[in-house]
Amino acid sequence: GAVVSQHPSRVICKSGTSVKIECRSLDFQATTMFWYRQFPKQSLMLMATSNEGSKATYEQGVEKDKFLINHASLTLSTLTVTSAHPEDSSFYICSARPAQGVWGDEQFFGPGTRLTVL
């Protein structure tokens, strides 16, 4: 149980295009999902917290108009990188926190999406 998927796993796009990344909790409902970014040889940096049915909460320094987050259901959150540029190239990882059940504060991570902007 507690499986999180992400799609696509890898994307290469041209500068100026927009890219949408999906994060799904496959076998549980997640009221809260989190989006992280990880640059090479660095740790995960939280970008935003996404709650189902409400606006995402962005971390300081993260442009909300550039990184659009939608959490339309208890099993799906999307991150859209708008007008992507080479400096947005990174490993984007989502995590989901189960709404209820035996889990405490655990978060389960998706496999990540490698974005390369040319």
* Binder of other proteins out of 14, 43, 100, 102 (CB under 8 A): 43
108 lines the binding site for other proteins (CB under 8 A): yes
User: Binding string, 67-96, against other proteins, x = CB under 8 A?
Assistant: ------------------------x-x-x-
CA 98, CA 63: separation in Å to the nearest integer? 27
Q: What is the dihedral of CA 30, 34, 38, 44, to 10 degrees?
A: -100
Dihedral sign for Cα 70, 108, 99, 74, please: positive
Q: How far is the CB of 106 from other proteins (least distance, A)?
A: 6
Residues across the chain: 118
Among 42, 73, 83, 116, binds other proteins (CB under 8 A): 42
- 104 contributes a contact to other proteins by CB under 8 A: yes
**Residues 56, 32: Cα–Cα separation, whole Å:** 10
Positions in the binding site for other proteins (CB under 8 A): 32, 34, 42-44, 46, 49, 91, 93, 95, 97, 104-112, 114
